[in-house]
Structure 1
Amino acid sequence: MTVIPALIARDVPAMTVCYGVDSAARRILACLYATIAMASAVALIGQASGNTTLSIAIAGVLFPMQITYKLMTIPAVGWRNPVVKSNLAIALLHTATLATI
């Protein structure tokens, strides 16, 4: 999960196909993804250590935010973009997770 922000931030050909040429906007997106990854790691560590209250609190804020912005990519970019397709899959996973907590 932490590899993805690094790849987005760099000018890797596969990432250029999905995210466009290296730019300030792409690097800002990588920072957002890295922040989400760090918050997710804290939630997982909390869960593993028995602190479910912390994990649920993080998930209760983080997942709705991610679901919203991932769904917003459909009208912004179009559903045929590979990033949008992966965003939809992740939004579905987060929705299912929220339904179970």
Structure 2
Amino acid sequence: MRTAAFPTFRKLYRKIQDSNGQQLNLPPGTYQLLTYYNYPVHRFGGGKFFVLATTSWIGGKNLFLGWTYAIVGAICLVVMFFLLCISRRNHNRD
């Protein structure tokens, strides 16, 4: 086991799929989950929780990472254009 990068994290336990690999929607109702206490967390003040989440092919509903990639990519394009202009100007002087 590795130490988590952030103080709170989620670990994927299982995906609900049919035999063809298609995702299924759970009908409303009461469900039970049997868990074992293999890794005690009370020593360091931790806790364990069970979360049902809907995710897409790009992850959860947090868009921070996607926006970060887009902004960093745009900044790289601006810097590249700026350096290209400087390079062309210096090349024309020779």
Shared fold, TM over 0.5: no
Give the number of the structure with larger relative contact order, counting CA–CA contacts within 8 Å between residues 6 or more apart.
1
Larger radius of gyration: 2
Give the alignment's TM-score, normalised by structure 1: 0.29
Q: Which one has a larger percent helix, Structure 1 or Structure 2? A: 1
Give the alignment's TM-score, normalised by structure 2: 0.31
